Amino acid sequence: MGNDYRWPATGDKAFKIEFRSWGNADIEMCATRRMYLMISGYKLIADQAVDQIVASRDRYARDTMVYPIFFNYRHFIEISLKAFIDEFAEEANVTVGKKNHQLMPLWKTYGLIIDEIIGADRDKNAGESVNSVISEFDKFDPNSFAMRYPTDVKGKQIVLPHGAFDLMGLKDVMEGVENFFNGSLSYVSELVAASEY
């Protein structure tokens, strides 16, 4: 075998510490900060994958990477909702239901918190747009399973919508969702902090 063909070698370790500034990444110790890094990371990796495969014009890459792209965007939504709920549910006196991977119950709880803390000042049009996007993801992949496996736990094929999905359009829509989440988080944080004085 040639030198450019990587083969497993004795002593290989997936997780090792190296002192190279250009190739290292730190794992955050604080769970709260780690959650927000994860939120950014799942969205960022999906954005970069879309940019890379669209620029390459590689059809095989698009048809292969669509699954992790969709999964990463969906997971970005899920953990954005969960982080917000974890941070503000108690402040808003909102009861948190059982945690699972379903997006619409999370979105409903998110909305209850927004209603309680922001009230009538919220942007209803933006909220309805985000609701529509989250509903699409929820119908497409209701339990965060369809983009990870071709079959369910019983071995039954998961049926997915078929068609040529617009990845750049998806990325653009997700930018709006991210801005909505970030804006809501900042505004609610300010209101909660002001109410404590």
* Helix, strand, coil shares, percent, the chain, to 5: 60, 0, 40
H/E element, 180? helix 167-195
Q: Are 114 and 84 in contact (CB under 8 A)?
A: no
> Mind listing the pLDDT tens digit for each residue in 162-180?
788 899 999 999 999 999 9
Between CA 197 and CA 125 the distance in angstroms is: 31
Query: Of the candidates 77, 194, 188, which has an alpha carbon nearest to the alpha carbon of residue 123?
Result: 188
Return all residues near 92 (Cβ < 8 A) that are at least 6 apart: 112, 113, 116, 117
Confidence category of residue 194, pLDDT binned at 50, 70, 90:
confident
Q: Which pLDDT does position 122 carry in this prediction?
A: 77
Full-model pTM = 0.90
* Contact call for residues 103 and 138 (beta carbons, < 8 A): yes
Q: How many CB atoms lie within 10 A of CB 47?
A: 19
Q: How confident is the model at residue 2 (pLDDT cuts 50, 70, 90)?
A: low
What is the band of 197 on the pLDDT scale with cuts at 50, 70, 90? low
| 168 CB-near residues (< 8 Å, 6+ apart) | 50, 54
Segment 99-148, tens digit of pLDDT: 788 999 999 999 999 999 888 777 889 999 999 999 999 998 988 988 99
What band does 25 get if pLDDT is binned at 50, 70 and 90?
A: confident
What is the rounded CA–CA span in Å between residue 132 and residue 119?
20
State the Cα–Cα distance between residues 159 and 182, nearest whole angstrom.
33
- Of 20, 11, 16, 69, the C-alpha closest to 44 is 69
pLDDT for 180 equals 95
pLDDT at site 97 = 77
**pLDDT tens by residue, 30-69:** 999 999 999 999 999 999 999 999 999 888 988 899 999 9
Asked whether the predicted pLDDT for residue 98 surpasses 60, the reply is: yes
